[in-house]
Amino acid sequence: MKILRVEIKNFKPFRDIVVPEEGELPNGLILIKGENSTGKSSFFEAILWGLWGSEVVEPTNDELVSFTSSFCKVTLVFEVGGSEYKIERSYDQATGMEVILFKKNGSAWKRIADKSKSVSSKVDEILHLDWRQALNTLLVRQGEVALIANATPSVLRDLIIKVYNIELLGTMTTHLENLETDLNNRRNSLESDYTREDIIAKQMEQTKSRLDGYEKELVAKENDLAESERQLKNLPDIEKLRKVHDMQKEHEKSKREYERSISDRDSELDDAGLASADEEVVAAKLELLKKETERIESQSKEIENKRETVDQEVGYLISRSEELREHVTGLEEISEDISNTIDCPTCGKPLTPKERERLLSEYTSELKSAKKRLLELKKTRENLSQERSETDSRIRSISSAIDAIQRIKKHQTQVDEAKTELDTISAEVESVMKQSGIKDLDKLLADFQVLNIVDLQNKAAAITSKFESLQTECKGIRDRIEQEKEQIGQLDLDILQSREIGAEIDSLKRLSEHTRYVRLKLINGFVADYVVQKRLIGIIRGATNPYVRAFTNDQYSSVDLIATQAKGRSGAGLVLKIRDERDNATKKTSQLSFGDRTAISLALRLGISRTMSAIRPTKNSPAIAPRVRCVLLDEPLGGLDKNRRHSVVRNLVNDESFEQIFLITHTDIQEWDEVPVIEVTKSGSSSAMSFQM
């Protein structure tokens, strides 16, 4: 795995970070520099959180969000096995976690998973490791190197088990039970062969029977092969068939276009209310619709005039009613204390009280009549509006029919053109068939018992495939015949090998008893663990030694992990020993200076990361090519002097075991200006990052 680009938003001290701003992160060593508490380790946390979520970092999701925001987001672009992937992981305090995994397809990103569980499974599949082992392959935590350097044997053992996270002890019982079963099965099989020599004779008989069957099968296959070859010779030319097929496809396409144009024209005829596209019929229909339009427009105008008349009367009645109400109000407000004569509100002539009462009665009656008339006029106007709406709808319908009629001519032209093209292609198909020597296509298809040219092409391909398959099968049968002959010779030798089989049975029996003892008695003792003793320690040793020599300028040449027995309350463990070439002695780490212990512990930890993604806990475990060839080193140089730091960095620059090495340090690294640097700086409450090649 190679990390190409990291984008961070509102994650711990980072507000909006893109590393690098242009291009991609390079291969090799990349230094991450900055003062303490600027956010160097938070950068690693962002990468790990982006890949695997909250399970791999100590802060909760809410604690990862910066104080000035309610969400955080990390986008990680990385490469594995030549393919580019992108993870977008975000957390919102209101909506929770969202994560999407993309794979680059050409220049576009294709979504391949969008749920936390499916993304996690897909990442495990991509890396060929579960997330725990991949995490420990990728990350060397802060303080981990110092912990290894000062570890007791039992602590060192537990550290290595924890780092590898192979769950070896938890699953060892199953492995040993399977191993016992396998050993017993093998032993039983060998004992059966050893004690029953008639089985060898029976195997000889069965082998000869198979040999006879293979020879008969070979004769039948060779006959089929000859028949297939004859059929291939009688097949028509495939290229000519392909040309006829292509022309037929064009013919079918043209036929569909012709039928589509007819359908479009008929649809317009339906909209226009016509059964035929005849020009006279279309013209007559158009004239009829125009006259109908004129009639309805005239009717609509009459309706509008009536509605205006009603509106005028309504306006008059409303105005008159307001005037009458004013008169009534004025007459009703006359006080009884005034003289018996008042002025008429209309003409100003003096009125007697009797005349006043008469006017009030007349005005009130007129108001009631006006109100009743207004209700009648309202109903009339609603009816007129309904009639107007219906005439407008009819006009739109006629207009739509007229538009359809006007489009009919265009569609009829398209029908005629499609028919002409169909006739032309039909003639071309007939010509191509004639040129291809196909007089009667139906007869040709019937001769080969197929329905169409595609089936004939497929049959030709099938015969060709069958011919090639028969060739392969004949070769395979010949090979098996040779194998059976060799087996017969081998069976003749099996009797002579019975003593060797007996010795192997004894060996398997002892191994089975030892395995049973380990499973029942020493399963929790790391020392007696067959798999770790025989495989893991050797793998670690081989991967660590080159780093030891490089980090110590060849003063120390090799490391070894020596298993120790449990003593008292201390469990079984591992003692780390180192060969000192200067003193010509093998020493324990407790005999070394702190700087030497730190350098050797860093070498051991890098060796572990180098091997972890390809580790095979048992001999029969599948071999998988390492895919996590990237490591994040969180401040491992603190216990080293200038010379040791120089040796470590020089080796990391030239180390090709990892595609990328990210090294966090707040210690100056001299003479390495050419190493790419990610500079982390603090500004107020937030941090910034800049990438320099």
**DSSP states of 440-455:** -HHHHHHHTT-SSHHH
- The average pLDDT across 3-27 equals 94
Range with the largest mean pLDDT of 425-439, 450-464, 549-563? 549-563
Q: Is 93 helix (H, G, I), strand (E, B) or coil?
A: coil
Judged on CB neighbours under 10 Å (0-12, 13-18, 19+), 456 is buried
Please, are residues 149 and 639 in contact by the beta-carbon 8 Å criterion? yes
Amino acid making up residue 589: T
Tell the residue number behind the tokens 């082998």, with chain if given: 207
Q: How confident is the model at residue 113 (pLDDT cuts 50, 70, 90)?
A: very high
Please tell me the number of Cα atoms within 13 Å of 163 on its side-chain side: 28
Range with the largest mean pLDDT of 94-103, 354-363, 531-540, 653-662? 94-103
Angle at which helices 594-612 and 153-164 cross, to 10°: 30
Q: How confident is the model at residue 662 (pLDDT cuts 50, 70, 90)?
A: very high
Please tell me the number of Cα atoms within 13 Å of 643 on its side-chain side: 5
Domains defined for the chain, CATH in brackets: 1-128+628-642+654-693 (3.40.50.300), 274-406 (1.10.287.510)
Q: Has residue 460 got a pLDDT over 70?
A: yes
pLDDT attached to residue 531: 47
- The average pLDDT across 365-387 equals 90
Identify whether 20 is preceded by a cis peptide bond (ω within 30 of 0).
Answer: yes
pLDDT attached to residue 617: 47
What CA–CA distances, in Å, run from 426 to 22, 310, 420, 483? 59, 70, 10, 60
Q: Has residue 350 got a pLDDT over 80?
A: no
Q: How far apart are CA 385 and CA 392, in angstroms?
A: 10
**pLDDT 10s digits, 497-554:** 776 777 788 888 888 888 777 666 655 444 445 445 556 677 778 888 888 888 888 8
- The average pLDDT across 476-499 equals 83
pLDDT attached to residue 181: 87
Amino acid making up residue 445: L
pLDDT attached to residue 574: 76
Q: How confident is the model at residue 195 (pLDDT cuts 50, 70, 90)?
A: low
- The average pLDDT across 37-44 equals 90
Percent pLDDT > 90 in the chain is 19
Q: Has residue 168 got a pLDDT over 70?
A: no
Q: Has residue 496 got a pLDDT over 80?
A: no
pLDDT attached to residue 4: 95
Q: Which of 221-225, 396-400, 527-531, 586-590 has the lowest mean pLDDT?
A: 527-531
Which residues touch 627 (CB under 8 Å, ≥6 apart)? 1, 80, 81, 126, 127, 128, 129, 613
pTM for this prediction: 0.49
Q: How confident is the model at residue 671 (pLDDT cuts 50, 70, 90)?
A: low
Nearest Cα to Cα of residue 81 among 626, 609, 657, 608:
626
pLDDT attached to residue 86: 96
**pLDDT 10s digits, 242-286:** 777 777 788 888 888 888 888 887 887 777 777 777 777 777 777
pLDDT attached to residue 569: 54
The better pLDDT of the pair 615, 436 is held by 436
